A and B are shown apart, each in its own frame.
Chain A
Amino acid sequence: MSIVHLQIQPEQLPSIEHIEWKAIDKKYLTVANLVWITYSIAILCAIVFTFFVSEKWQTTNWYLTSGIAYFILVVIGFILTKKDIRNRAYAIRERDVLFRKGWWKQTIQAVTYNKIQHVSLNKGPYERMFRLATIKIYTAGNSLSDIKITGLQEDVAEQIKTFILQQHAVTEQL
């Protein structure tokens, strides 16, 4: 028996290069900034508590050093958040869902509908304030969500969720 390795023609495959990416809602940047502010306040509280309990750190040098370090950290946090959010986009195709994220390390994730185990729609407190939602897509074997599409308008998120579940049902029947 001779085994033949077939040549696969790239042009015959549906390509991810010609995808029209849809950016997430711009309001999500405000949500992400609010989340970062919350974390920053928590970090500030931890620093203040450390100064409060330890007398040897209560010197001008330490106040100044930690103040500058904290300020730089907060500013870098805002810059990175902005750059990261700007690159986030998604694409819903007939047979799969794609999500793009990251600024420094860029990632493209793709999952076909027939591999989806379940989908959940989440709204955090800040997201509710701006009528936004997050769709989490789960595949087999993982307890954590595999693909998380953040910054979707509530009604759009509902539509996408319904579409994904419909397509999942269709592909299951095939």
Chain B
Amino acid sequence: MQLQNSYNFLETPQRQSPALFLHLLWKIVRHSSSLLLFFIIAYFFLPEKEDAVISREKLLLYQTVGAFGGMIVVHIPKIVGFFFHRYWMNNHELIVRSGILSKNIIVIPIDKIQSIHLSQNFLHKVTNTCSIKVDTAGSESSEMTLDAVQISKAELLRDVLTNASVNNIILEDTTLTTTKQTKSIVLYPFDLLKLAISENHFKTAALIILFLIGKMQDAKDYLKIDSYGYAEKAGTEVANSITTLIWVLFWTAFITFLISAIRVLIRYYQFEVKIETAGFQIRWGLTEVKQKFIRFEKVALIEWHANFFRKHLNMSLIHLRTLTENGGEEDTQVQIPLTQKEQIEPLIYEFFTGSPLVIAAKKSIHPSYILFQSIFIGLPIALILSGTAAIWLSWNGLIIGTVFMVYFSITMRVFFKKTCFAYTREGIEISKGIWGIRHQLLHWKHIQFVSINSSPFQRKRQLCTLQLHTGTEDVVIPFISANEGRFIMNYALAKQSFMSQLNSLEDEIYQSNQRLSR
């Protein structure tokens, strides 16, 4: 009944909160700040031109006014747009009307909604508002974005959309169920520490180095400072003293860990996942509190992976891939860190009766995969490496190529040993990895299209590579027998086309099996 009242309330066209103006002002300050910073640095560091018409102080003032004024002009359509923007619900649709001169109306069928995101930065907290994003599979960007809505209204809207989508019923029906929470996963401070320790520190170090190089280039270009000269001088000093080298390595490791820890804290502070009747409700954030709701049936592919350290700490990162994911953008991804191995199973049971790799026969890829990868990928790279190294090291350069070739062959062997897959009537699962591990679990119904590839090397051995396209990440099973590949392709197509017939056929087989076993 409460939700019915909420729905009636949302039927009336709504405006965003007036707090939007405060957000726009903050955006103007933020966007003009980088330009202002540049002007301030130029004011302090660049020498004054002799033929300057106006004083440096006046120039800085004009530049500041110009930067602010320009940004205000850019944001005028948004400021005026506030008065012309409305959103409301109508039966099975969420409608957004906007536009000053030309009117835009976006109609989102509720059952097409893939995920709902709520986020709250410090300004939202002060004004008791939040922003909402609604995603469908239609485009890469969000279909509806409201920058400032009262938190009570936003939560109401989310609950109504969630319940409407799960029940898939006419909203006038007064028998709407309220969202029922079943289980939850929470990250404690010790879990955050484990996550920080097991982060990819090499990646963090690489990011820091890239950032520093960028800043050195800026200092050279704009401030005419010989940054590379200083770096070279410091490098020579470090190379000449072992004590300094150890100190530099220690501080690099310390700073890298610190930054990794800060990144973990920002991403996973107060992280909580609630498994509800309709889907996952995820909440996290330190500086900006974010909430995301994702429906079970909209998860196209379930992936969980762990690097070398996380694998040994029994940790993994589960990635629920949906069609709304936009490349590598973290904001559009649903990733849940799991600090215990046992947490994986309950999540899988929301989608499957069991993991195919546990309940069905495991199959492996063909051993010729190692030979193929070594000859066609490893060997060319080794030759290039040897050739390049030979320029400086003469024949000794061959050692580098040989070492690489041995390492590559070992990794391919490890990959072959670890790769296995299995399928049931529900879906298919593949596990692979070299030093870490990566699982992909896919329901047949989420396959968009199937393809089988075969090179002459594979055809000679009656092998193929199967690709199951999901619209997000593809599931690729390399070097399986051509018969197996064709069978999986036939089954995947039949599952999609003759789902009901095939299910009843399988039920018949199941029942006859049961009768026989009795």
Q: Which residues of A contact B (CB under 8 A)?
A: 3-10, 12-17, 95-96, 102, 104-115, 139-143, 146-147, 171, 174
**Are A105 and B453 interface neighbours, CB within 8 A?**
yes
Measured between beta carbons, the chain A residues less than 8 angstroms from B182 are none
Q: How far is the CA of A124 from the CA of B61 in the complex (A)?
A: 57
| A8: contacting residue among B323, B453, B491, CB under 8 A | B491
Q: How long is the Cα–Cα vector from A152 to B240 in the complex, in angstroms?
A: 71
Q: Is B472 an interface residue (CB 8 A)?
A: yes
Instruction: Check A7–B509 contact: CB distance below 8 A.
Output: yes
Contact of B448 among A7, A14, A108, A141 (CB under 8 A): A141
Known: A96-B497, A105-B455. 11 other contacts (CB 8 A): A14-B490, A95-B493, A95-B498, A96-B493, A102-B453, A105-B454, A107-B454, A108-B452, A112-B449, A140-B137, A146-B449
User: Are A8 and B452 neighbours in the complex by a CB distance under 8 Å?
Assistant: no
Enumerate B24-45 residues with CB–CB distance to A below 8 Å.
none
Name the A residues within 8 Å of B425 (CB-CB).
6, 8
A115, B354: Cα distance in complex, Å: 26
Cβ distance A142 to chain B, nearest Cβ, rounded Å: 6
B300 an interface residue at 8 Å Cβ cutoff?
yes
The residue on B at minimum CB distance from A105 is B455
Contact A110–B471 (Cβ < 8 Å): no
CA of A10 to CA of B494, assembled, Å: 11
Q: How many residues of B contact A (CB 8 A)?
A: 43
Chain B contacts for A113, CB-based, 8 A: 497
* Contact A106–B454 (Cβ < 8 Å): yes
24 contacts between A and B (CB under 8 A): A4-B510, A6-B506, A6-B510, A8-B491, A13-B487, A13-B494, A14-B494, A14-B497, A17-B486, A95-B498, A106-B453, A106-B454, A107-B453, A108-B451, A109-B449, A111-B449, A112-B497, A114-B496, A115-B496, A139-B448, A140-B137, A140-B448, A142-B448, A142-B469
Of A106, A110, A114, A142, the contact of B489 (CB 8 Å cutoff): A110
CA distance A115 to B499 in the complex (A): 13
Interface residues of B in 491-518 (CB under 8 A from A): 491, 493-494, 496-498, 500, 505-506, 509-510, 513-514
Task: Decide if A10 touches B490 in the complex (CB within 8 Å).
Answer: yes
A110 touches B449 (CB 8 A): yes
Q: Which of A6, A115, A139 contacts B424 (CB 8 A)?
A: A6
Whether the Cβ atoms of A141 and B449 lie closer than 8 Å is no
CA distance A92 to B424 in the complex (A): 28
Q: Cβ of A140 and Cβ of B359 under 8 Å apart?
A: no
Counting chain A CB atoms within 10 Å of each CB, the highest count among B360, B453, B496, B510 belongs to B496
Residues of A within 8 A of B203 (CB): none
The 5 closest A-B pairs by CB, nearest first: A141-B471, A95-B497, A139-B448, A111-B449, A141-B323
Known A-B contacts A15-B490, A114-B496; the reply to A147 vs B449 at CB < 8 A is: yes
Instruction: Name which residue of chain B comes closest to A8, CB basis.
Output: B491
Chain A residues near B486: list those with CB within 8 A.
15-17
In the complex, A147 Cα to B469 Cα: how many Å? 12
Interface membership of B256, Cβ < 8 A: no
> Smallest Cβ distance from A174 to chain B, in angstroms?
8
Is B131 at the interface (CB under 8 A from chain A)?
no
Within the complex, the shortest CB–CB distance from B476 to chain A, in Å, comes to 13
Residues of B contacting A143 in the complex (Cβ-Cβ under 8 angstroms): 140
Contact, CB under 8 Å: B451 / A139 = no
Asked, given contacts A8-B506, A12-B505, A104-B455, whether A114 binds B497 with beta carbons under 8 Å apart, the answer is yes
Q: With the chains together, A116 CA to B103 CA distance in Å?
A: 31
Instruction: Tell me the complex Cα distance, A57–B495, Å.
Output: 61
- Residues of chain B lying within 8 A (CB to CB) of residue A95: 493, 496-498
**Interface presence of B450 (CB below 8 A):** yes
Distance to closest chain B CB from A173 (angstroms): 13
Q: Is the CB of A10 within 8 A of B487?
A: yes
Q: Does chain A have a CB within 8 A of B470?
A: yes
**A109 touching B513 in the complex, CB below 8 Å, given contacts A10-B487, A16-B489:** no
Is there a chain A Cβ closer than 8 Å to B456's Cβ?
yes
Chain B residues with CB under 8 Å of A5's CB are 359-361, 424
Q: Is the pair B448, A115 in contact by a Cβ cutoff of 8 Å?
A: yes
